[in-house]
Amino acid sequence: MRTSIATVCLSGTLTQKMQACAAAGFDGIEVFEPDLVAAPESPEEIHALSRRLGLTLDLFQPFRDAEGVDPATFAANLRRAEAKLALMRRLGMDTMLVCSNVATATIDDDAVFAAQLRELGDLAASYDVRLAYEALAWGRFVDDYRRAWQVVERADHPNVGVCLDSFHILSRGHDPKEIEQIPGDKVFFLQLADAPLLSMDVLSWSRHHRLFPGEGGFDLAGFLAHVLRAGYAGPLSLEVFNDTFRQTDPDRTARQALRSLRWLEDQAARHLGSEVGPGVARLPDVGEPSGVDFVEVRAEDAGEVEVVLAQLGFTFRGRHRSKAVGLWTQGEARVVLNEQQARGAAPAVAAVGVEVTDPDASAARANRLLAPPVHRRTYAGEERLAAFSAPDGTEVFLGRVPDGPDATWTGEFRLGTTPAGPDLVTHVDHVNLVQPWQHYDEAVLFYSSVLGLAPQAPLDVAGPAGLVRSKVMRSADGRIRLALNLQPAGLRDRLPQHVAFACDDVVTLAQQARARGLRCLPVPDNYYDDLAARFDLDPALLATLRDLGLLYDRDGDGEFLHFYTATVGRVFFEVVERRGGYDGYGAANAPVRLAAQLATA
Ligand SMILES: O=C(O)c1ccc(O)c(O)c1
Ligand SMILES: [Mg+2]
């Protein structure tokens, strides 16, 4: 379907916004009137620029407070409308958004709304313009799309239809199913926005917190499916008022925006199944990744990380035959230590490899979703893995699901040791990636659309340097879990990232690691006193936890035992044992960890 975006979604001047939309690959834009009013270019110049850029000007918006008014006010509204219609002709535009009256309406009567819209429709027809009437969630009288449609039906004018905006409908909890009752050709325009599920007044929610589809909590695929069932065939347009996107790079936001639409179109097509029409584009269907292939830590000198991995029981498997890269493994957990092009860099998580069944299809999907490709030097005979840069800069590699116990690329490593004993670590449980605040929502969309991971409900963790917002992106079977943590503004330096390894016997592993000299993150005694109060723990277990510096959590019948290593550069490791189907991450313990890390930093 055609794609469009309101200029209000982006930062910059009108012409910068237009260039960003065209560069990302949008078909058209909604011209937000204040952007035009503030522009030095004439309407004719904007029209000419849109043609040069290959963008259609799909919707002029908004025209406010038109209907439900006394006759004198309505006469003034007609005069105001005529000026805007003449302006639209200069822009070469044919559709104007009329939002329901929030301010000047005094007459709560559908007959009056319909008669006034009909009269406006006559005026618009003389300029070859169509009016799309939109119920704002905070409209004075019309605040529900179903009432807006009743008014439009009653106006019965070929130039008057409705504009549907997912935010106004879903924020109020109005059932979108009745959209299917509206004839598709009377839906003149469709605006799409997601939002986090907040409880606050709808106007502030709408003006500051809207998000691109896939970044919030609304069911937009289900919503769009209703609109498509109604027979709507116009553009899919984004209208996202958001404080962050208004101040960040418009080129980047525009790419993120188009990614959200391509993802949503595919989701709606899945939702519709065999009902889907021919114009709805699908993405390559790749299934979800089945596991973590590797985690890469990059550093100028990875020596300290090697020490910690050895203490945790990892085996050094060798150096890469042509690069300054080493491989450490335990069970199916593989850690690559990369010392290339890392001058001055403290150890940090640089890349995560995931296992997919069809890397080419996954790469094609990522390309279609405008994921920036990463190019790394590979030499003849080496396995070349497609990679993309996530919004936080983490490089995501797409590897093939291995046939045997080891990924094929591990054969490129030489002169290592063969794993000797029984491995206690079985695999990578989760990777925790710190997100700069301005890219957080983009990261949620990136990991859900490109990798097909599902966002879990967000959680706030109180740390001594600020609240850390956390959202886990995971595959259905839990083999991939990426915890995205928002960097609190109060922390000058980035929070460390971490890699958590799963094991079946964390007590033994902790004992062995201690014997090898591992420095764990210290846990205060107060924590264990509180544990004893909260849970009716076996005193012997409590003593073991206290002795080894292990943390503990419980959900239902499940139990979680875990510990953290000290931080090396910007990375630390965690070892976790999940008992009895425990599915969380020990969130209750996170404040203790954050405080201990701050104290030892
Ligand atoms: O917040 C507003 O005023 C506003 C304006 C136009 C829209 O389409 C909308 O959804 C909201
Ligand atoms: Mg709208």
Q: Is residue 406 part of a domain?
A: yes
Q: Is residue 286 part of a domain?
A: no
Residue whose C-alpha is closest to residue 329's, from 311, 354, 309: 309
Residues in the chain where the model's pLDDT stays below 70: 377, 379-380, 489-494
Residue 17 alpha carbon to ligand 2 centre in Å: 18
Q: Is residue 37 part of a domain?
A: yes
Closest ligand, as measured to the CA of 61: 1
Residue 66 alpha carbon to ligand 1 centre in Å: 14
Residue nearest to atom 5 of ligand 1 (CA): 62
The ligand 1 atom at the shortest distance from the C-alpha of residue 6 is 8
H or E stretch covering 125: helix 110-125
Q: Is the peptide bond before 372 cis (omega within 30 degrees of 0)?
A: no
In a shared domain, residues 527 and 409: yes
H or E stretch covering 578: strand 571-579
Question: Is 430 marked as a binding-site residue?
Answer: yes
Q: Given ligand 1 and candidates 7, 136, 140, 208, which is best to mutate, with the most ligand atoms within 8 Å of its CB? A: 136
Q: Is residue 119 part of a domain?
A: yes
Question: Is 477 marked as a binding-site residue?
Answer: no
- Whole-number pLDDT of residue 380: 64
Three-state secondary-structure class, residue 527: helix
In a shared domain, residues 314 and 435: yes
In a shared domain, residues 218 and 251: yes
- Beta bridge mates, 110: none
Residue 207 alpha carbon to ligand 2 centre in Å: 10
Closest ligand, as measured to the CA of 136: 1
Closest ligand, as measured to the CA of 31: 1
Residue 231 alpha carbon to ligand 1 centre in Å: 24
Residue 321 alpha carbon to ligand 2 centre in Å: 57
Q: Which residues line ligand 1 (CB under 6 A)?
A: 61-62, 97, 99, 134, 136, 165, 191, 206-207, 239
In a shared domain, residues 573 and 521: yes
Question: Are 382 and 437 within 8 A, CB to CB?
Answer: no
Q: Last residue of a domain, which of 244, 274, 304?
A: 274
Q: Is residue 587 part of a domain?
A: yes
The ligand 1 atom at the shortest distance from the C-alpha of residue 241 is 1
The ligand 1 atom at the shortest distance from the C-alpha of residue 191 is 8
Residue type, 127: Y
In a shared domain, residues 339 and 466: yes
Q: Is residue 284 part of a domain?
A: no
Q: Which DSSP symbol is given to 510?
A: H
Question: Are 320 and 358 within 8 A, CB to CB?
Answer: no
Q: Given ligand 1 and candidates 98, 201, 239, which is best to mutate, with the most ligand atoms within 8 Å of its CB? A: 239
pTM of structure: 0.95
**Separation of alpha carbons 425 and 402, rounded Å:** 19
Residue nearest to atom 1 of ligand 1 (CA): 207
**Separation of alpha carbons 482 and 368, rounded Å:** 22
Q: Is residue 490 part of a domain?
A: yes
In a shared domain, residues 131 and 229: yes
In a shared domain, residues 220 and 362: no
- Whole-number pLDDT of residue 467: 79
Where in the sequence is the domain holding 383, given as residue range(s)?
291-600
Closest ligand, as measured to the CA of 164: 2
In a shared domain, residues 320 and 240: no
Q: Is residue 57 part of a domain?
A: yes
Within 10 angstroms of residue 258's Cβ, the number of other Cβ atoms is: 21
In a shared domain, residues 72 and 33: yes
Q: Looking at the 3D structure of the chain, how many domains does it have?
A: 2
In a shared domain, residues 255 and 297: no
In a shared domain, residues 246 and 330: no
Residue 129 alpha carbon to ligand 2 centre in Å: 18
Residue 491 alpha carbon to ligand 2 centre in Å: 36
In a shared domain, residues 95 and 135: yes
Question: Is 574 marked as a binding-site residue?
Answer: yes
Closest ligand, as measured to the CA of 60: 1
The ligand 1 atom at the shortest distance from the C-alpha of residue 206 is 1
Residue nearest to atom 9 of ligand 1 (CA): 136
Sheet of 315-320: strand order equals: 386-389, 395-400, 348-356, 291-298, 333-338, 325-330, 315-320, 413-415
Question: Is 498 marked as a binding-site residue?
Answer: yes
What CATH number is attached to the domain comprising 485? 3.10.180.10
Residue 190 alpha carbon to ligand 1 centre in Å: 13
Question: Is 134 marked as a binding-site residue?
Answer: yes
Question: What is the distance, to the nearest Å, from the Cα of residue 308 to the centroid of all Cα atoms in its chain?
Answer: 33
**Separation of alpha carbons 317 and 416, rounded Å:** 4
What CATH number is attached to the domain comprising 17? 3.20.20.150
